[in-house]
Amino acid sequence: MFGTFRSPNAVYFGAGQRAMLGRVVSSFGRRTLICTDERLAADPMFRAMVEDIGAAGVDVSVFSRTIPDLPLGCIDEALAHARSAKPDSIVAIGGGSCLDLAKTTALIHTLGGRPQDYYGEFKVAKAVLPVIAVPTTSGTGSEVTPVAVLSDPDKTLKVGISDPRLIPAVAICDPELTLSCPASLTAVAGADALTHGIESFTAIRRNEGADLPLERVFVGKNIISDHHALESIRLISGALVGAVEDGSRLDLRSQLMFGAMLAGHAFANAGNAAAHALQYPVGALTHTAHGVGVAALMPYVMRFNLPARRDEYAQVAAAMGVPPKGDAKAMAEASIDAVTALFAAVGIPRTLAELGFQEGRIGWAAEQAMTAARLVQNNPMPLDVESMKTILQAAYHGDPRLLS
């Protein structure tokens, strides 16, 4: 048995837990910087949190110009803000983009240099300013993960900084903050979270060894990530359609946020795989949200990986509530049908053509996807440019037979 688990020092989960934010922030010092976006900065719940931090005796400075998908220029602006605010901690309130901005700002403000100096894995040599992550979407899991994803105008694809030192010190997950998410955001973020659960649960399993967690940020499937992944799949698949249909259901919002956080824990340690690698070029070409792309690709990646992960997919089907039927192969097939049906029910496009992807770009996209080494190496079936092309062909045409 082999397992790795890296996580924040504390995770506080539950409706109303944001009321502890001021006291948590004050435990890190007298000054803090909040990273958020303009929409959230105008929200009464946000303003109440700022007041609460102030009431705890902490000077608060707010940076509210986070831009989705985190362009480098946005990080520069936040850093300039941090230099004058001289914070003892950084609070992130928002979706994955705000959380990743806070992580990157904490890193550069503490250690200097530029974001480019840290692209890749294990490039963060010392501890960085503590980040207190307060997610307002149930999707990325960034509140518990060691990665920040950003957009560099000199790079065609989005880039990642991955290091255990980027894991927030504290995550406060309050599902009431997600009640304002519109149906489309709920669907896309939830679909992203489900793919985290599935890709982690079916990731490669490496030979365990004392060096593995020191050599890789994402170690592959293991007994601890499996535990988080399977439970996240159960929770998210049970709540997503209901939360998209009626966003006022706090019980379903809670289930989704808990599922997304568990899925974050799963991929923070195991890592994602082919669907995430392929989304990078697909997202760059179609300008579609991360969650839409990974979800549209997921059923095709599952079919490609089926020979290597039959038993795991059978467990995915059971976790999604598919009644037992036939043998493991039949159950594994049923998991692909269940994921396809769930995503269709929340409005995720079924093909890359529907996302606006051009068939003529399949070759380029396959080559680019192969450059996401940490994700490619994490896939349970070996990948090369040809197999990436096959998955993209199947996903473009919506034809799973191309993968059989």
Ligand X SMILES: NC(=O)c1ccc[n+]([C@@H]2O[C@H](COP(=O)([O-])OP(=O)(O)OC[C@H]3O[C@@H](n4cnc5c(N)ncnc54)[C@H](O)[C@@H]3O)[C@@H](O)[C@H]2O)c1
Burial, 1: exposed, middle or buried (Cβ in 10 Å; 0-12, 13-18, 19+)? exposed
- CB nearer ligand X, residue 251 or residue 359: 251
- From its phi and psi, is residue 323 left (phi > 0), alpha (psi between -120 and 50) or beta? beta
Find the part of the chain contacting ligand X (CB under 6 A) among 48-56, 80-88, 145-153, 251-259: 145-153
- DSSP-assigned beta bridge partners for residue 31: 59
Nearest partner of 195 among 96, 307, 300, judged by Cα = 300
339 near ligand X (CB under 6 A): no
The number of C-alpha atoms within 13 Å of 157 and in the hemisphere containing its C-beta is 21
Which of ligand X, Fe ion, none is residue 136 near (CB under 5 to 8 Å by kind)?
Answer: ligand X
What's the rounded Cα separation, in Å, for the pair 2 and 125? 26
199 near Fe ion (CB under 5 A): no
Helix axes 274-286, 362-370, angle to 10 degrees: 130
What's the rounded Cα separation, in Å, for the pair 235 and 310? 21
CB-closest chain residue to Fe ion: 192
**Least distance to ligand X from the beta carbon of 255, Å?**
16
Residue 220: φ, ψ to 5°: 100, 175
Residue 116: φ, ψ to 5°: -55, -30
Stretch 267-306 residues interacting with ligand X (CB under 6 A): 290-291
Q: Site size for ligand X, by CB under 6 A?
A: 31
- From its phi and psi, is residue 120 left (phi > 0), alpha (psi between -120 and 50) or beta? left
192 near Fe ion (CB under 5 A): yes
- CB nearer ligand X, residue 290 or residue 332: 290
Burial, 248: exposed, middle or buried (Cβ in 10 Å; 0-12, 13-18, 19+)? exposed
- CB nearer Fe ion, residue 192 or residue 312: 192
- CB nearer ligand X, residue 106 or residue 181: 181
145 near ligand X (CB under 6 A): yes
Stretch 46-85 residues interacting with ligand X (CB under 6 A): 68-70
Which of ligand X, Fe ion, none is residue 149 near (CB under 5 to 8 Å by kind)?
Answer: ligand X
Site string for ligand X, 163-182 (x = CB under 6 A): --------------xx-xx-
39 near ligand X (CB under 6 A): yes
Which of ligand X, Fe ion, none is residue 147 near (CB under 5 to 8 Å by kind)?
Answer: ligand X
- State which of residues 136, 200, 315, 340 lies at the interface with ligand X (CB under 6 A): 136
What's the rounded Cα separation, in Å, for the pair 169 and 271? 20
Find the part of the chain contacting ligand X (CB under 6 A) among 19-27, 35-43, 49-57, 115-123: 35-43
Find the part of the chain contacting ligand X (CB under 6 A) among 7-15, 53-61, 92-100, 167-175: 92-100
Residue type, 312: E
